[in-house]
Chain A
Amino acid sequence: MSEIFRAKIKENRPLTNHHYLLTLHPLINIALPNPGQFFMLSVDESLDPLLKRPFSVHRTVEGGFQILYRVVGKATKILSAKSPGDEIEALGPLGNGFPLNISNSENVILTAGGMGIAPMLALADKIAGLKPLLFYGARTAGELLCLDDFRDSGIEPIISTDDGTCGRKGSVIDSLESYISSAGSNNFGLYACGPKPMLSSLSKFCAKHEITAYMALEESMACGIGTCLGCVVKTNEGYKRVCKEGPVFSSREIIW
């Protein structure tokens, strides 16, 4: 059950020059969001930007929830200038979220690329007991976020960067490949979020190793509640709405 509600900004903390951690306290009681679900946030009362923007839940906290975002355009720039005490309109929680029981897998692997790290902390919080591994790739060391939050949950991120400034040089899939070959088992369940090209390659990788994988997708969307049909993704059962049937899909469903 989702709600349209106003929320007070508790904190809007810069983590780097262009990444922020936003803590929102809804002014009404809302359903507790599941990992992988998202909220539509209205960044301004004006009509430009017009539409709400979708943001995945980074973490649920006392009194509300957190959003981890990168300033990429006009709306996120406006959002980054908001101060504690400001109120914004929000809609959610929306979407399906990650299925939490991946059957027949001994080990759980979280895979994040870039801002794909955002929903992974909420998921790690939820399934910490399964001692998941986190493979985390970014362009460069300065773009790696919330490493200590994962460490606090007992997860030591296995890092790769495109430029080699932290962890292994190369893609997150290179790291996964060498891990899987050394582990000698493919009995893994995998959750992933990241840029489309990464998810597409990861999907092929998982198919090759027969790994069950669930991936949180991102698409431009207007309404977030299933009516505009703007956010569709091609699946083996035709177009599906990222906002409603997703944002989490089995990697086998998606036609990349």
Chain B
Amino acid sequence: MQRGAGLFFKGDNLVIDLSVSIGKIKLKNPVMTASGTFGYGDEFAEYFDIGRLGAVVVKGLSLKPKQGNPPPRIVETPAGMLNSIGLQNIGAEKFINEKLPFLRKHDTTVVVNFFGDTIEEYVEAAEILSSADGIHALEMNISCPNKEEGWSIFGTDPKVTAKVVNAVRKSTSLNLIVKLSPNVTDIAQMAKVAEDAGADAVSLINTITGMAVDIKTRRPRLANIKGGLSGPAIRPVAVRMVWECYNAVKIPVIGMGGIVTADDAVEFIIAGASAIAVGTGNFVTPLASMNVLEGIEKYMSDEGINSIDELRGSLICG
């Protein structure tokens, strides 16, 4: 029987504690949504109580609205999908005025993903978002591969990563999560750079850059030619990277990449994730995050595990 925030009782005895800490904040359970797959929460509220989520992570915001890339923007690939949405979003101001009031009404942690084209834009966006009421954490996107050449450097050049994270760190007292790109040689090094620059947590992985070709027309299947691969196809890569980062940093690691079921999520937690995010799974079924949450509870109950802390990083090697 459930009695509120992530605590489960059998009779009068506390049996399972699903709550997790991410830096300064506590989530009632480890299930989050991945940015870009959950809109601003409103569409999903039609299908379930989004207040049950550990955290809602909204679609990435920039200072000004962005119209995104020309279509076709998505193509399905084996057990995955490629997207080149191009960071289409309504802009920070419109989000605060029109979407945040709705999110504030729900008993969940609100994480706002944001990005900029320059360090100044990152800082300005972080300042504006930090002054709004009802945002509990910021997630910096330094890893989206959909921008013109020269931009993805924020997530792939350690010196630039340190600089931008440092700048944002100084401009916000909110919990700061840095979302890492998998398109690097050594992701553990990037996690360390983010930690040293003041991040409260790292989240990974963003999409893996990919490409698909229509062999009849010999044209790329996305108008933008390249896109970001997500879905179950990338999960083993994500689990490996979460494990590497967990071993490299002291701050919490938020794991994501192809999580559709609770079993997938538990894999990440065992590999070291403090929390997990459901991404493309939300597109497979709008109930994916709830299926994952209920499945984690069942797994813990079946395995006699009392808390996420007990499970996190419990990988047995050798």
Contacts and interface: CB of A to CB of B under 8 A. Distances in A.
A229 to B, nearest CB: 5
B89 to A, nearest CB: 9
A4 B81 CA distance: 22
A51 B232 CA distance: 11
Main secondary structure of the interface of A (DSSP, over half): loop
Interface of A: 1-4, 42, 47-52, 89, 91, 219-223, 225-234, 238-239
Contacts of A42: 284-285
Interface in B272-302: 280, 282-287
B46 A227 contact: no
B39 A220 contact: no
A249 to B, nearest CB: 14
B262 interface: no
A227 B39 contact: yes
Highest count of chain B CB atoms <10 Å: which of A47, A51, A231, A233? A47
20 contacts: A4-B286, A4-B287, A42-B285, A49-B76, A50-B76, A50-B81, A51-B284, A52-B285, A91-B286, A220-B74, A222-B76, A222-B280, A223-B282, A227-B37, A227-B283, A228-B85, A228-B283, A229-B68, A230-B74, A231-B71
- Counting contact residues on chain B (CB < 8 A from A), the size range is 35 or more
Interface string B257-275: 0001000000000000000
A239 B284 CA distance: 23
Interface string B81-93: 1010100100000
B284 A232 contact: no
Contact of A222 (B44, B67, B74, B78): B74
B176 to A, nearest CB: 25
A49 to B, nearest CB: 6
Contacts of A48: 78-79
Interface string B47-73: 100000000000100000001101111
Nearest to A49: B76
Contacts of B83: 222, 228, 230
